[in-house]
Every structure is written in structure tokens, then in C-alpha cells.
């Protein structure tokens, strides 16, 4: 009858002791002082910014926990269907500022810290990034958590608690990248709640013996303990605080007592560290498959712990297994968690006695798979011998799934051996491989790409046979989005406030319905507004100029056009094209008289991004960028006309400074290679324009903002295959294909930017194979850059109008829209408001 009995003791005493949400400035100062004194055991006289940050963070954490508890309790009581986002990466960045904005407490904390003698912005700056991801895929997961909580969806994330995040990037004296570890947990992390009581055993290696009916018994090997750490995820202006559960690995029995007793202390400790190695470090590769045993163990460990947790929660509702998909949907962020498919089968069949066919029906209703790339070198495939060694039972299950699947293919297309070989989960050869994208596809209810063009390519290329088999309706598109809380309100408060004034809607309204930005359109004709808008951009550029001056000692003039390309360094993303374009600009400027040069529109070209430590060509390119920048910046003729900056150690918090300061940003991948891109959306949302190829989400951005407001260039996806064929079989020298580019390559080869032998491998890839078609797109790239210059110089007011129209039309690219599409079209979960 809904009446509840207080579990123990005196209810009034309990309730009186419970913490409400403090929101007056004096509540907050009291809480901060308490944490300084009692939690940190420090005092005002020895408190630095880091200490003050920690105390402030602890007091915010108190609020988050109250709301987290309430949210989880209400989910447990009502048992709505839940969705789980499995991602090996969550690139969260900093938390304090975001939490304050989402909780609506920023003004109060500003006043409170001021009263205590601190400046809130300095404390926000003292936090280190949580860099538990490589790039777009990991940051997308973080944006989706923010949107899930803001849209009041019962959505949890599951990931790994890496002790070392993505490496820190240093630049050596010779200009090359050096990697340093990122021990981000060394300074206590107030944003996690250790749950020593939430643990699961996970097995590796050992022996799997079939016992009939598709079942098996798996014994022996190594057992590792998964321990939960919970990270609260507050929604913006809601009561919802969702959960990101990260698993840490611990040895199962502390010490191995047998060897301990035998006096072999060394071995006992080694056993220990091998379990802990599992969650030691994030693999620093993006868009590249690396067949390392430890990586496979990370995947299996995380999937097994997460599924055990999900199943334990499902058991609370006491429903038959057939109803599992009515309570649970699981999104696979790329193929990294694909092993969850055979793992769920194993748990249902071997441990819960569910018949194989029923288990497969449950599994294929539960999972959903997002693909993030069609690049062949990035598609995951695991050597069969490795999988057999580490996960013997999972390999059996994969073989059984494959057998049933290929029989169904054979029934549909009898005697088509080639098709069977193409579609098999096992790639034949020496060794054999398990094709994870195929397993994810047949084990999921839906498969999606991350932008229209990309989803089209998924259907037409890598999964074509599977579309023929399952039908089109299983294959969908969900164009990516970004959270406007972090990527507008938080990183660009000036612009966010101006928008709020203009459209006369409270932030709490338009930041949750980004299509309301449309109301900005008429202001593109308002000359007073144009001035205010331009001033905000100018101030953001000054802020970036200050950062560059203090950290790199380079002076940049905020009157220049700020041209930014920040993303992982990868051949397909073509930072090479940008750099070669910069050198071309340099040569052109050098050929002018100084009076001619004075008339030129000044440009600051900014690069940032990390290269995977084992990616030779990407690291070589960084070295060339840095040394080209040194040459150009040291040339007195270029002063205030062309400046080139490589910003080291690109990160989420650096992106928050860079993005609001851009006039133009570059998204110039070879057509058909960038699945979506998400920083393109962030730049446009902050009033920067795009210089890009007809690729990924650039296309949809142009559809929304009007192609007049985007600078497109380059060959289209359709042309790429033929061009590559030409390069291979009918090569034409660069001198003929693009004389301008040939002149640039010649400068590098003559040593203008340092010892040319160092850079020869880079020049050779362009001259000899040019897989990513730099030569084919170079001339149109240079043309597009001229258009940018003309547009910026000839009519600054027209430029500002373009940026206002662009911002006003970016509504589609909120991650709120994306997450609601997943919720409604895939997961079938509902919004669930938390009442206080």
C-alpha cells in the first residue's frame, strides 16, 4: 500500500541528521572550512589553491552524493527500464566547473570562495583532467552521460578506472613528441566513491569443458577481483544524478598464501601486481587495432564485471529471463565491448541454465552496436589462438554462434561458398582471426553509424552482406552531438550570456533545447548586437593569446585570423595538408615585397594533438610542424603576418580555451574517412566557421547552417577509390599534378626546416603513394584558404553575420537530441524525473 517502515532506529533522528543541499553562501563557506579542517587536516595559513580546490570539490561532492543516493533509490523503487553505455573510454576532462553549473551553484561558490580569500577560477584551474580516453569516441561517451542525466534518463556508464590516463605530451628540444605518464590519481580524486563492497570475480585462461546442450564448465586459470568506483553524473538543472561505474582490478586473495608460506615473498607480490596491471593504463591508440593480450583482458574484465552487476540488479525485480530485454538495453561503444555478447551467453547458458536458443533471443534484443570507423586498420580482429588461451569458453561460444549463423546464411543463399567465407565470424588464415564487428552486428538489435555519410558507408562497404541478410531496418544512423553545457555555457560564458539576453529565454530552458538558438537569426541584422558578438570573440582570442604567451613564449596578435586544427594526429585527418598549405603561404609571402605583405591579412595557424606513441609517421609530422613553426616565427618578414603555433599536450581543458577563440577551424580528412567529427560541432557552436572536406558531420553542419557559411573543398567520397587506383597504377609526378605542392616539398627537401633526411619518409609518402590524396586536394585547399582570407578581410561585418547565423542553426548538434534518439528508437527507455 506504499507505506514504508523506517529500517532501523529513530526515524526523526536519522532525518534530522541527513544533509540537504546547501545553497546559501554561508552553508557553503561552512562546508568548505569543515573540509579544510577535518577532511584535509589543514588550516587557512597553509592552504594553497590546490588545497582550496580539494576542499571546494569535497563540498560539491557532498551535494552530488545526496542527489546520487536519491536518484538511485528512486530507480530501485520504481524499476524503470535502464540503459547502459559500455565504453572503454570516458574522456571526462575536469569536473568542478561543470558540476557547479549543472547544480546551479556557481554564483554561490564564487561568492563563498571569494569570502575565504580565493578566486574560484584559479581553483577550477587547479584540477587535473580525467583523460580516460583518446579522442572523439571517449569524449562522445562523456557528452552522452551529461545528456542522459540532463534528459532525466535512467542511463549508467560502465568503464575502467585506469590508474594512468592518456600520456602527457612534451616537445623535445629537437621538436619531437615525448610521452610522459599521467598518474592522475596521485592527487586524491574527490569525484569518485569507492565501493569496496561491490565486487565480482572474473576468470581468465583455464579450461572449458563442454557438458552437452551447448553448456560447458570453465575452471582453473587466473581469477581477478573487480571493484566498483562510482562517479556521479549530474544533469543540468534537474535532480537526476546518474552513475558512471568504473572497475578497478585487484588480486583476488590479497596474497597468494601458498607461496607466501613457502617463504617466496617475491612471487606472492608478483602475482599481486599482475592482477593490478589490468587497469594500470589506457591504451593510447586511436583508430588503430593492436592485438595485445593485456588489452583483450581489459575488455573481458570490464564486460564480465559490468554484466554481473547488471544481472544482479535485474534479479531484484524477480522476473523471468525472457523479460531481461524489457529491463535492460546495452549500447556497445564501438567493438571494444563486443566480448559482452558471448559473456552474456555464457552467464545465461552455463550459470543460469537458460536454453541456448532462448539465451540467444535475449542477447540479440539487449545489445546495440555503434560503429565509429570504416578504416580497415581500425577494425578489431583477435587472433584465435590468443582468444583460445585467454578466454577459452568465449571462443567456444563464438564458434557455436558462428555455426548457427552460417547455417542460416546457407539456407538463404545455398551453395555460396564465397559469401560464407566473407560473412564468417572467423577469418581463415594462419592464424585465424575473430572479426569483432561481425560478432557485434549479429549479436545486436541495431547497428548504427555516427553521421549520415558514415552510416551509408557502413551499409555499403564493411557490413554490406549483413544488410542483405538482416534487411535495412537493422542498420540506422544517429548523428553525433555535443553537450552545449560544457561546449558553450562553460567554455564561453560571455557568448552564452549574450545569447540569453538576446533570445530572452532562461539558460535553463535554451541549454536543454538547443533548437531555440534559432531565435538568434534576426540579430544578424542588428549592428549593435554584431559589435557585442565580435567583442566576445576578440576577448576569447586575447585569452588564448595570453595562454600562448605564458606557456610557449610566442606573441600572437588577436587582430589576426585564428585558424585552428586540434585533433589526434593521423594521416587520414591530414594535418599534413594543413602544414603543406602553411609552407605554401610562407613561400608566397616571402616572394612579395614588404609593401605587398603589409596588405595581407595576418593569420595565426594553431595545431594541437597527440600522436600514438608507436605511430612513426604521425610523430614525424609533429616534428616537422614544430620545426616549420620555429623557422617561420623566427623570420622577421613574417612578423604579425604569419605565426605558427603547436600547442603541446592537447586535452579537454585546453580545448575549452582554444575552441571559443577560433575564427576558422580545419576538418580536412580525405572524403569518406572521418566518421563524424565532433569538434567541428563545438567550433560552430562557438561562432567559428569551418574549412573542411565533404566528409562526416561537416556535411550535415553545412545542411543546417547553409553551405554559404562553410568553406568546402576537395574531392568527394565517390572519387576516392578511382584516385587511389590511379596513384597505384598510373602514377603522375607531383610536379605535374600540383606545381605549387611540388615547390613546397622541394623546400623541405632542401632543408629549410631542418635536416631533410629526417623528413624524407614524410615527403616520400606524399610523392610515392599518397594514400590519403594530399596531392589531389592541395590546389583546391589553397583556393579555399584564399576564400577564407577574402571573406574575413573584405567584409568583417559579413563574417560576423555568418558566425551568428551558424550558431543560431546548430540546434541539431546537441547531444541531447542524439541521446533521445538512442533512448526512443533503440533502448525504449523513458524519461524518469527524480522528485525531491
| Closest C-alpha to 22, from 100, 79, 78, 132 | 100
Per-residue contact string for residues 642-671; x = within reach of ligand NBX by CB under 6 A: ------------------------------
Using CB under 6 A, which of the segments 273-281, 283-291, 341-349, 726-734 binds ligand NBX?
A: 283-291
287 contributes a contact to ligand NBX by CB under 6 A: yes
696 contributes a contact to ligand NBX by CB under 6 A: yes
Q: How many CA atoms within 13 Å lie on the side-chain side of 500?
A: 14
717 contributes a contact to ligand NBX by CB under 6 A: no
In angstroms, give the least distance from the CB of 371 to ligand NBX: 9
Q: Which of 394, 567, 619, 715 is catalytic?
A: 567
Query: Quick one: how far is CA 805 from the chain centroid?
Result: 27
Asked about 394 being catalytic, the answer comes back as no
Separation of alpha carbons 164 and 283, rounded Å: 10
In angstroms, give the least distance from the CB of 270 to ligand NBX: 29
Separation of alpha carbons 606 and 617, rounded Å: 20
Separation of alpha carbons 488 and 686, rounded Å: 6
809 contributes a contact to ligand NBX by CB under 6 A: no
**CB of 128 within 8 A of CB of 184?**
yes
3-state secondary structure 84-101: EEECCCEEEECCHHHHHH
Give the three-state DSSP class for 120. helix
285 contributes a contact to ligand NBX by CB under 6 A: yes
Asked about 678 being catalytic, the answer comes back as yes
674 contributes a contact to ligand NBX by CB under 6 A: yes
Give the three-state DSSP class for 253. coil
Asked about 573 being catalytic, the answer comes back as yes
Beta bridge partners of 474: none
Q: Which is nearer to ligand NBX, 292 or 518 (CB)?
A: 292
Q: Which is nearer to ligand NBX, 490 or 676 (CB)?
A: 676
**CB of 102 within 8 A of CB of 191?**
no
Q: DSSP labels for 388-441?
A: HHH-HHHHHHHHHHHHHHHHHHHHHSTT-HHHHHHH-SEE-SSS-EEEHHHHHH
| Closest C-alpha to 235, from 148, 137, 172 | 148
In angstroms, give the least distance from the CB of 512 to ligand NBX: 22
In angstroms, give the least distance from the CB of 431 to ligand NBX: 20
Asked about 639 being catalytic, the answer comes back as no
In angstroms, give the least distance from the CB of 676 to ligand NBX: 4
Pairing of strands 241-251, 328-333: unpaired
Contacting residue, 123, 241, 450, 488, with ligand NBX by CB under 6 A:
450
286 contributes a contact to ligand NBX by CB under 6 A: yes
Number of residues that bind ligand NBX (CB under 6 A): 19
3-state secondary structure 734-786: HHHHCHHHHHHHHHHHCCCCCCHHHHHHHHHHHHHHCCCCHHHHHHHHHHHHH
Separation of alpha carbons 517 and 687, rounded Å: 12
677 contributes a contact to ligand NBX by CB under 6 A: yes
Using CB under 6 A, which of the segments 130-138, 151-159, 416-424, 460-468 binds ligand NBX?
A: 130-138
In angstroms, give the least distance from the CB of 143 to ligand NBX: 9
676 contributes a contact to ligand NBX by CB under 6 A: yes
Q: Which is nearer to ligand NBX, 35 or 573 (CB)?
A: 573
Contacting residue, 140, 305, 463, 478, with ligand NBX by CB under 6 A:
140
135 contributes a contact to ligand NBX by CB under 6 A: yes
214 contributes a contact to ligand NBX by CB under 6 A: no
Separation of alpha carbons 798 and 308, rounded Å: 58
**CB of 452 within 8 A of CB of 699?**
yes
Asked about 412 being catalytic, the answer comes back as no
Asked about 71 being catalytic, the answer comes back as no
Give the three-state DSSP class for 159. strand
727 contributes a contact to ligand NBX by CB under 6 A: no
378 contributes a contact to ligand NBX by CB under 6 A: yes
Q: Which is nearer to ligand NBX, 105 or 668 (CB)?
A: 668
Give the residue at shortest CB distance from ligand NBX.
136
136 contributes a contact to ligand NBX by CB under 6 A: yes
The widest CA-to-CA distance across the chain, in whole angstroms, is: 88
Q: Which residues of this chain interact with ligand NBX, rule CB under 6 A?
A: 134-137, 140, 285-287, 372-373, 378, 450, 480, 674-678, 696
| Active site (catalytic) residues | 372, 567-568, 573, 678, 682
Amino acid at each position: 500500500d506504499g507505506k514504508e517502515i523506517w529500517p532501523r532506529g529513530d526515524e526523526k533522528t536519522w532525518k534530522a541528521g541527513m544533509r540537504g543541499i546547501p545553497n546559501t553562501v554561508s552553508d557553503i563557506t561552512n562546508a568548505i572550512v569543515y573540509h579544510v579542517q577535518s577532511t584535509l587536516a589543514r588550516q587557512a595559513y597553509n592552504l594553497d589553491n590546490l588545497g582550496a580546490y580539494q576542499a571546494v570539490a569535497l563540498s560539491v561532492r557532498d551535494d552530488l552524493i545526496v542527489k546520487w543516493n536519491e536518484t538511485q533509490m528512486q530507480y530501485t523503487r520504481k524499476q524503470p527500464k535502464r540503459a547502459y553505455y559500455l565504453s572503454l573510454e570516458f574522456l571526462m576532462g575536469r569536473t568542478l566547473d561543470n558540476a557547479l553549473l549543472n547544480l546551479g551553484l556557481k554564483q554561490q561558490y564564487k561568492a563563498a570562495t571569494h569570502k575565504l580569500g580565493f578566486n574560484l577560477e584559479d581553483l577550477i584551474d587547479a584540477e587535473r583532467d580525467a583523460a580516460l580516453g583518446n579522442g572523439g569516441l571517449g569524449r562522445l561517451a562523456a557528452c552522452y552521460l551529461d545528456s542522459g542525466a540532463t534528459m532525466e534518463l535512467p542511463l549508467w556508464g560502465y568503464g575502467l578506472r585506469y590508474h594512468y590516463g592518456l600520456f602527457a605530451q612534451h616537445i623535445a628540444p629537437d621538436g619531437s613528441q615525448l610521452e610522459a605518464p599521467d598518474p592522475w590519481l596521485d592527487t586524491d580524486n574527490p569525484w569518485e566513491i569507492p565501493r569496496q563492497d561491490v565486487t565480482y570475480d572474473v576468470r581468465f585462461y583455464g579450461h572449458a569443458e563442454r557438458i552437452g546442450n551447448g553448456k560447458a564448465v570453465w575452471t582453473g586459470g587466473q581469477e581477478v577481483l573487480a571493484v566498483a568506483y562510482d562517479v556521479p553524473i549530474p544533469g543540468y538543472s534537474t535532480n537526476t544524478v546518474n552513475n558512471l561505474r568504473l572497475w578497478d582490478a585487484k588480486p583476488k586473495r590479497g596474497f597468494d598464501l601458498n607461496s607466501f608460506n613457502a617463504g617466496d615473498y617475491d612471487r606472492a607480490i608478483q602475482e599481486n601486481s599482475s592482477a593490478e596491471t589490468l587497469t594500470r593504463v589506457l591504451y593510447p591508440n586511436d583508430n588503430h587495432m593492436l592485438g595485445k593480450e593485456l588489452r583483450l583482458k581489459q575488455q573481458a574484465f570490464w564486460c564480465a564485471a559490468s554484466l554481473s552487476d547488471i544481472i544482479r540488479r535485474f534479479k531484484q525485480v524477480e522476473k523471468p529471463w525472457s523479460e531481461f530485454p524489457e529491463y535492460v538495453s546495452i549500447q556497445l561503444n564501438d567493438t571494444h565491448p563486443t566480448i559482452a555478447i558471448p559473456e552474456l551467453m555464457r552467464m545465461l547458458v552455463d550459470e543460469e541454465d537458460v536454453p541456448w536458443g532462448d539465451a540467444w533471443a535475449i542477447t540479440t534484443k539487449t545489445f546495440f552496436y555503434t560503429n565509429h570507423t570504416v578504416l580497415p586498420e581500425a577494425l578489431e580482429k583477435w587472433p584465435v589462438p590468443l582468444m583460445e588461451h585467454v578466454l577459452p569458453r568465449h571462443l567456444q561460444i563464438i564458434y557455436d554462434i558462428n555455426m548457427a549463423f552460417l547455417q542460416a546464411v546457407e539456407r538463404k543463399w545455398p551453395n555460396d561458398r564465397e559469401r560464407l567465407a566473407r560473412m564468417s565470424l572467423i577469418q581463415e588464415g594462419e592464424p585465424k582471426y575473430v572479426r569483432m564487428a561481425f560478432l557485434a552486428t549479429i549479436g545486436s538489435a541495431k547497428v548504427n553509424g555516427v553521421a549520415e555519410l558514415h552510416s551509408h558507408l557502413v551499409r555499403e562497404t564493411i557490413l554490406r552482406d549483413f544488410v542483405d541478410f538482416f534487411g535495412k531496418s537493422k542498420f540506422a544512423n544517429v548523428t553525433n552531438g555535443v553537450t552545449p553545457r560544457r561546449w558553450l555555457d562553460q567554455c564561453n560564458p560571455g557568448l552564452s550570456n549574450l545569447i540569453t539576453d538576446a533570445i530572452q529565454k532562461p539558460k535553463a530552458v535554451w541549454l536543454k533545447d538547443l533548437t531555440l538558438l534559432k531565435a538568434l537569426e534576426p540579430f544578424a541584422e542588428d549592428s549593435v548586437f554584431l559589435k557585442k558578438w565580435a567583442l566576445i570573440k576578440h576577448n576569447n582570442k586575447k585569452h588564448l593569446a595570453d595562454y600562448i604567451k605564458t606557456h610557449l613564449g610566442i606573441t600572437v596578435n588577436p587582430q589576426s585570423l585564428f585558424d585552428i586544427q586540434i585533433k589526434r594526429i593521423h594521416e587520414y585527418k591530414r594535418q599534413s595538408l594543413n602544414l603543406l598549405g602553411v609552407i605554401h603561404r610562407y613561400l608566397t609571402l616571402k616572394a612579395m615585397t614588404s609593401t605587398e605583405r603589409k596588405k595581407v591579412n595576418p593569420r595565426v595557424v594553431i595545431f594541437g594533438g597527440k600522436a600514438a606513441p608507436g605511430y612513426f609517421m604521425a610523430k614525424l609530422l609533429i616534428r616537422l610542424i614544430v620545426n616549420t613553426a620555429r623557422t617561420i616565427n623566427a623570420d622577421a618578414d613574417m612578423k604579425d603576418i604569419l605565426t605558427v603555433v603547436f600547442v603541446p599536450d592537447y586535452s579537454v581543458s585546453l580545448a575549452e580555451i582554444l575552441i571559443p577563440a577560433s575564427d576558422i577551424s580545419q576538418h580536412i580528412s580525405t572524403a569518406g574517412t572521418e566518421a563524424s567529427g565532433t569538434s567541428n560541432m563545438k567550433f560552430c557552436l562557438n561562432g567559428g566557421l569551418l574549412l573542411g572536406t565533404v566528409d562526416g558531420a561537416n556535411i550535415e553542419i553545412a545542411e543546417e547552417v547553409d553551405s554559404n557559411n562553410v568553406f568546402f573543398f576537395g574531392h568527394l567520397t565517390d572519387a576516392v577509390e578511382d584516385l587511389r587506383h590511379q596513384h597505384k597504377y598510373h602514377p603522375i609526378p607531383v610536379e605535374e599534378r600540383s606545381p605549387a605542392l611540388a615547390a613546397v616539398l622541394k623546400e623541405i627537401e632542401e632543408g629549410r626546416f631542418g635536416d631533410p633526411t629526417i623528413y624524407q619518409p614524410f615527403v616520400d609518402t606524399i610523392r610515392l603513394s599518397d594514400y590519403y590524396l594530399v596531392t589531389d586536394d592541395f590546389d583546391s585547399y589553397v583556393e579555399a584558404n584564399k576564400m577564407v582570407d577574402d571573406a574575413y578581410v573584405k567584409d568583417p561585418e559579413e563574417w560576423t553575420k555568418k558566425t551568428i547565423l551558424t550558431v543560431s542553426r546548430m540546434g541539431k548538434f546537441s547531444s541531447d537530441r542524439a541521446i533521445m534518439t538512442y533512448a526512443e528508437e533503440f533502448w525504449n527507455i523513458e524519461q524518469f524525473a527524480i522528485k525531491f
